[in-house]
Structure 1
């Protein structure tokens, strides 16, 4: 009964504070008068929001994703690697996977570089790149996958991505007075670098999502049949 009472009180206080934070005079809020093309340069409005105006949200999404991947890697260390024999893939996979791999890589890179101009961006680019690796992993032995994974150092590099983003935020605060401010030059709308820092941030996000999906794939292949 006490828990229910405190839960109700907490909800009332939460919504009361939320009500206090709602702007009472929306027409006088300067953020409702922004011009995306002049201030950000991105043709893709969603990209301008997630990589500029609301990048705090995006950063914490990346941080949560990174912590999740670290947790999966740590948790899977308690299991012994799978020693089952490799089952040769079907003819369809052996033919299909090598063809799809370079296509998905090209699509992922293109999606990253043009995410602020057309539908796309870092998150779905990372998934596209991860799908390409998955198609290749279906036709390779675990030993080959492990060798590629260990030599690529992806697991170590992807942990540094949030640090790079924090450095970007600190530079903005030190020289331009605001964290996560898009201080890169805004080129002609429609060009590759028209979104300021959009290409850099999309590349960071794409690599983080790709590295995370690659880590999950590697761990599950290493321990398949044991979960």
Structure 2
């Protein structure tokens, strides 16, 4: 069976070398129309948070249900007595440096996702990565205490609620002024939605990390 996979891989590679690049004939006027319609330089952000905002609402809802499902399925299990974590100093230092970099990237993607490649989902993943790196170098009790002290669960639910409200208002035709194209404060409601999605995904990832550490002992 592996020879079938190898032959398919070789055929696909030859196809990429021989056949012309289909993107050469792409009409850039489509991208320009999207940018003009959405008021943001990032056409991807405009499509996700305006042209197909209806789909994005349900993507956020599905992610929320997935987090609730993980909590529900593991709630009746016995917490594990052994937690697997980094114990050597070099690994701890490297993990926390990586967490710092991931957190900074998360903030950058959240606030500038409408101007450049990035956006709320990517920012949330970067934020969740930072939290995961901290979790494998810190005690579970400390992570749980910080989670409660920061009201992370409440903030996550509020971010979803505000996102849905703003999205419904946008779909109903009530939009903020676009401002000047290319500025940080521009694009109407799109930058706000980006930040809300980033908060939702990052805090949701934090909740899942805590759940799996408590009941599985590892991520």
TM-score, length of structure 2 as denominator length: 0.78
| Cα-Cα RMSD | 2.4
Report how far residue 152 of structure 1 moved: 2.0
Aligned equivalents of 1:51, 1:66: Cα separation in 2:
18
Which residue does 1:93 correspond to in 2?
Answer: 91
TM-score, length of structure 1 as denominator length: 0.75
Report how far residue 68 of structure 1 moved: 1.2
User: Does the 8 A contact of 1:89 with 1:138 survive in 2?
Assistant: no
Q: Write the mapping of 1:1-227 to structure 2, written as runs, cut at 5 A.
A: 35-84=33-82, 89-172=87-170, 178-179=171-172, 181=173, 183-225=175-217
Per-residue CA deviations over 1:74-122 (Å, capped at 9, x if unaligned) read: 2221112222267652232221122222221111011111111111000
Report how far residue 131 of structure 1 moved: 0.5
- Unpaired segments of 5 or more residues in structure 2? 1-29
Aligned equivalents of 1:169, 1:225: Cα separation in 2:
38
Change (3 A) 1:87 1:38: closer
User: Does the 8 A contact of 2:124 with 2:199 survive in 1?
Assistant: yes
- Unpaired segments of 5 or more residues in structure 1? 1-31, 173-177
Matched pairs, number: 190
